[in-house]
């Protein structure tokens, strides 16, 4: 809170400065006739100078003159600026309307069949399914990402032409291509007929008779729609993944697979899970996959074998429209700010600039919260930041304090922050919504105790529970599942972290807003400023220091970009959130560049090049687990970076925790009349 207040005071102070270098009040053509608001006269300056607003006192504006070129609403650019703002305002309002219509009315359509897709259904090649599955190792019964895309196209076509139709147990909407028929329906009405014609082989070996090496294991409960499932897998496919084990496509659905799963540790999914590098858990809107014992067993094996598990999420189908809409909201705000009369612009600048920080703080705080009000808080924070930041900057432009020769670097910085920063905030919001939805789906019906998970076959249930209890890891697996629900990812690195810090917030999605804002304002901008203005900012006595800091800042920026690209997903979120410590330098940055005379100070660059970046790079390299090992400070630092969830009744979090412990009996998995053994 103290930091937030300090930042707000800093914004207030910065609004009182912002004058150009060599600002003068003795070069007006007619100093006696100050720019009268009532007649909207131009501020007259001598040739080679342009006007910049100094202050406003009813009913007059006082201005001065700056050498060189600049943009201001109190000068010759008034007419062209007003015309441009009016056109932009009209276009942006129209685009907001169009994107809103797209968000609310555009629905997914059936994927079009490509050449060669239909040949798979009508192939004359007949394989010996039983023999092939006996010869090919179980861990090679896999499909590629392109195979999944083809499967979605074929299923879309089958739904469109009626080969896959609603049933009493699964009354899906044939026109809805966002959810689609359940895995049970797709298996019975489509996979079994096609693979039977191919020789009772699985879909995976029908596509690749020699099999594919398993990189990814998909765990799910068969209750989700096929389109929902495939979209989530697409969005969550790990980098470098080549092929995945997907039970309904990997196992021969027309053969008797009872023997294959009679011994769980020797089953196809156990073999595939043992050889994979990534495990993807696909939630569904019907029940928690961890209310089903086979999914629990897969989580147990993943934990035992130290496999990383990630919740599969997907952005809204119209996510691009949300991002465009927030961009056009910014355009409307900036245009409206440019159209304000100068007397209002001078009065609005300080309040709008001051309000940006509270909205940004609200957004950052909301990322670590949960509950029913979180989406509304985030939307309110993103829209508020977008509106006030753009209006503030537009007022700054109108007064002539933003766009002029010597200020072009900072003009680029603020424009980029206003455009890319707000779009990144909206993308963070959409990612947060998808992560919260996945957590809600995993929590629904999960009691918190693995022994209470349901299983349709009592023999399978007893075998699985016996193996889990013998291992002594039952409690550890339960905690891993709870961690996965809250953090969206569970890896050996994060499990070691949680042992010292307790459960954290979403660690599967890294904050684009924090990364973009800190890179534009600090990491990426510092070397550019030092190259362009370092000799002036540091002064002549610091010539050697100028080049040293410049070279170091370039190396640090490049190292961070390269490091972030190479970091695994479970450490990307930590590295991105660590960058938020740059905000500690924001007051110094504002005081240094917006103080009297616009002078910088060498101490600022010593801190921003020699102290803070090496520290942040070191934390990023260490990662959360090693950082948490630092005595006394480490766990607190990691908790500060991630933000530990706070169970606030007004945000609905307590109710959410209660559901995880009590709703397992209220949300049973509808079996659609089929045995759970079908999921293999």
Residue 379: burial class (beta carbons within 10 Å; 0-12, 13-18, 19+): middle
In a domain, 608, yes or no: yes
Give residue 204's pLDDT: 94
Neighbours of 568 (CB within 10 A): 12
Q: Which two tokens stand for residue 128?
A: 């010996």
* Residue 26 DSSP code: S
Name the token pair of 186.
């797709």
Q: Flag whether pLDDT at 320 surpasses 80.
A: yes
Query: What's the CA gap between 97 and 111, in Å, rounded?
Result: 27
* Confidence grade of residue 36 (pLDDT, cut at 50, 70, 90): very low
- The answer, yes or no, to whether residue 418 has pLDDT greater than 90, is no
The residue written with tokens 């809170």 in the block is 1
Provide the Cα torsion 32, 38, 41, 45; round to 10°. 40
Please state which of the ranges 67-81, 155-169, 601-615 shows the lowest mean pLDDT: 67-81
Longest dimension (CA), the chain: 100
| Residues 311, 309: Cα–Cα separation, whole Å | 7
Q: Which of 128-142, 283-297, 342-356, 506-520 has the highest mean pLDDT?
A: 128-142
Q: How many domains does the chain have?
A: 2
Question: Taking 50 as the threshold, does the pLDDT of residue 598 lie above it?
Answer: no
Per the CB < 8 A criterion, the answer to whether 456 and 676 are in contact is yes
The mean pLDDT value of the chain amounts to 80
Q: Does 353 reside within a domain?
A: no
On whether residue 494 sits in a domain, the answer given is no
Mean pLDDT of 32-37: 47
Phi, psi of 64 (to 5 degrees): -130, -175
- Which stretch of 361-370, 447-456, 598-607, 666-675 has the lowest confidence by average pLDDT? 666-675
Q: Output the CA torsion sign for 497, 499, 505, 506.
A: positive
pLDDT of residue 488: 87
pLDDT at 386: 94
Q: How confident is the model at residue 663 (pLDDT cuts 50, 70, 90)?
A: very low
Question: How far apart (Å, rounded) are the C-alpha atoms in residues 605 and 602?
Answer: 5
Helix (H) or strand (E) holding 243: strand 243-245
Model pLDDT for residues 276-311, shown as the tens digit of each residue: 999 999 998 888 888 888 888 888 888 888 899 999
Kindly report which listed range (146-150, 241-245, 517-521, 560-564) carries the lowest average pLDDT score. Answer: 517-521
In a domain, 175, yes or no: yes
pLDDT at residue 153, rounded to an integer:
94
What is the C-alpha separation between 152 and 78, in angstroms, rounded?
56
Asked whether residue 492 is assigned to any structural domain, the reply reads no
Residue 508: closest CA among 561, 431, 620, 425: 431
Q: What is the pLDDT of residues 367-408, one digit of tens each?
A: 766 556 788 889 999 999 999 999 988 888 888 777 776 677
The mean per-residue pLDDT over the stretch 489-493 comes to: 89
pLDDT (0 to 100) of residue 115: 83
Give kind and range of the element (H or E) at residue 438.
Answer: helix 422-443
pLDDT digits (tens, 9 = 90+) for 653-662: 444 444 444 4
Domain that holds residue 558: 512-642
- CA-based nearest residue to 279, from 437, 436, 491, 481: 491
Q: What is the pTM of this model?
A: 0.83
pLDDT for 150-206, tens place per residue?
Answer: 999 999 999 999 999 999 888 999 999 999 999 999 999 999 999 999 999 999 999
Strands 216-219 and 60-67: unpaired
Please write down the HEC assignment for all residues of 353-414: HHHHHHHHHHHHHHHCCCCCCHHHHHHHHHHHHHHHHHHHHHHHHHCCCCCEHHHHHHHHHH
> Would residue 475 count as lying in a domain?
no
The 10 Å Cβ neighbour count of residue 577 is 25
Domain boundary among 251, 267, 282: 282
The answer to whether position 575 is within a domain reads yes
Indicate whether 622 pLDDT > 80. yes
pLDDT at residue 95 greater than cutoff 70: yes
At 4 the pLDDT is 35
Q: What is the mean pLDDT of residues 254-279?
A: 83
Residue 669 has pLDDT above 70, yes or no: no
**Per-residue pLDDT averaged across 424-435, rounded?**
91
Residue 456, number of CB atoms within 10 A of its CB: 17
Say yes or no to pLDDT of 626 above 80: yes
Averaged pLDDT, 566-583: 88
Evaluate whether residue 660 is within a structural domain.
no
3-state DSSP assignment of residue 454: strand
- pLDDT of res. 156: 93
Give the β-pairing of 243-245 and 216-219: parallel
pLDDT above 70: percentage of residues in the chain: 82
pLDDT value for 41: 54
pLDDT in tens, 526-542: 888 888 776 666 555 55
105 or 456, greater pLDDT: 105
- Name the phi and psi angles at 228, rounded to 5: -60, -45
């Amino acid at each position: 809170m103290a930091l937030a207040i300090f930042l707000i005071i800093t914004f207030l102070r910065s609004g009182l400065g912002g004058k150009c270098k060599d600002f003068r009040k003795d070069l007006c053509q007619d100093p006696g006739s100050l720019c009268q608001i009532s007649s909207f006269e131009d501020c007259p300056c001598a040739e080679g100078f342009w006007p910049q607003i100094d202050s406003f006192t009813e009913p007059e504006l006082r201005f001065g003159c700056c050498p060189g070129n600049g943009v201001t609403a109190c000068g010759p650019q008034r007419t062209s600026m007003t015309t441009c703002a009016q056109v932009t305002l009209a276009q942006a309002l129209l685009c907001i309307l169009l994107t809103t219509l797209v968000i609310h009315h555009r629905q997914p359509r059936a994927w079009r069949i490509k050449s060669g897709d239909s040949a798979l259904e009508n192939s004359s090649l007949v394989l010996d399914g039983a023999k092939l599955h006996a010869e090919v190792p179980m861990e090679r019964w896999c499909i590629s990402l392109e195979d999944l895309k083809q499967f979605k196209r074929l299923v879309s076509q089958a739904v469109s032409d009626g080969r896959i139709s609603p049933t009493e147990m699964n009354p899906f909407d044939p026109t809805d291509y966002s959810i689609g028929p359940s895995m049970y329906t797709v298996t019975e009405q489509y996979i079994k007929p096609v693979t039977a014609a191919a020789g009772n082989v699985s879909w995976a070996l029908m596509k690749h008779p020699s099999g594919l090496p398993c990189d990814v294991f998909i765990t799910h409960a068969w209750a989700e729609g096929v389109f929902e499932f495939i979209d989530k897998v697409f969005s969550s496919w790990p980098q470098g993944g080549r092929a995945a084990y997907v039970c309904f496509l990997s196992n021969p659905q027309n053969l008797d697979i009872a023997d294959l799963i009679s011994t769980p540790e020797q089953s196809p999914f156990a073999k595939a899970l043992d050889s994979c590098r990534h495990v993807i858990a696909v939630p569904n809107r019907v029940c928690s996959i961890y209310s089903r014992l086979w999914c629990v067993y897969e989580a147990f094996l993943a934990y035992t074998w130290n496999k990383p598990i990630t919740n599969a999420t997907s952005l809204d189908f119209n996510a691009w429209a949300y991002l465009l809409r927030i961009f056009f909201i910014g355009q409307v705000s900036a245009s409206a700010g440019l159209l304000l009369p100068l007397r209002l612009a001078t009065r609005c600048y300080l309040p709008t600039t001051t309000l940006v920080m509270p909205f940004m703080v609200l957004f950052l705080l909301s990322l670590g919260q949960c509950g029913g009000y979180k989406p509304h808080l985030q939307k309110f924070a993103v829209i508020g930041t977008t509106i006030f930041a753009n209006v503030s900057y537009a007022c700054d432009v109108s007064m002539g304090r933003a766009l002029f020769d010597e200020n072009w670097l900072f003009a680029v910085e603020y424009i980029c922050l206003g455009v890319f920063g707000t779009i990144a905030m909206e993308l963070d919001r959409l990612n947060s919504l998808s992560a919260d939805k996945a957590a809600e789906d995993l929590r629904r019906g999960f009691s918190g105790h693995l022994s209470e998970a349901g299983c349709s076959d009592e023999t399978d249930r007893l075998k699985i529970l016996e193996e889990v209890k013998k291992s002594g890891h039952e409690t550890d697996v339960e905690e891993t599942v709870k961690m996965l629900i809250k953090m969206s990812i569970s890896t050996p690195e994060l499990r070691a972290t949680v042992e010292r810090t307790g459960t954290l917030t979403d660690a599967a999605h890294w904050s684009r807003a924090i990364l973009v804002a800190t890179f534009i304002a600090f990491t990426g901008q510092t070397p550019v400023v030092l190259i362009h203005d370092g000799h002036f900012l540091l002064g002549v006595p610091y010539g050697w220091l100028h080049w040293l800091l410049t070279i170091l800042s370039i190396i640090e920026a490049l190292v961070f970009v390269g490091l972030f690209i190479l970091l695994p997903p479970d450490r990307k979120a930590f590295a991105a959130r660590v960058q938020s410590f740059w905000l500690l330098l924001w007051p110094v940055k504002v005081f240094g560049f917006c103080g009297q005379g616009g002078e910088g100070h060498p101490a600022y660059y010593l801190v921003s090049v020699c102290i803070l970046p090496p520290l942040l790079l070191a934390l990023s390299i260490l990662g959360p687990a090693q950082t948490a090992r630092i005595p006394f400070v480490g766990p607190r630092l990691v908790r500060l970076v991630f933000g530990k969830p706070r169970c606030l009744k007004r945000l609905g979090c307590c109710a959410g925790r209660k559901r995880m412990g009590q709703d397992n009996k209220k949300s049973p998995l509808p079996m659609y009349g089929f045995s759970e053994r079908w999921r293999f």
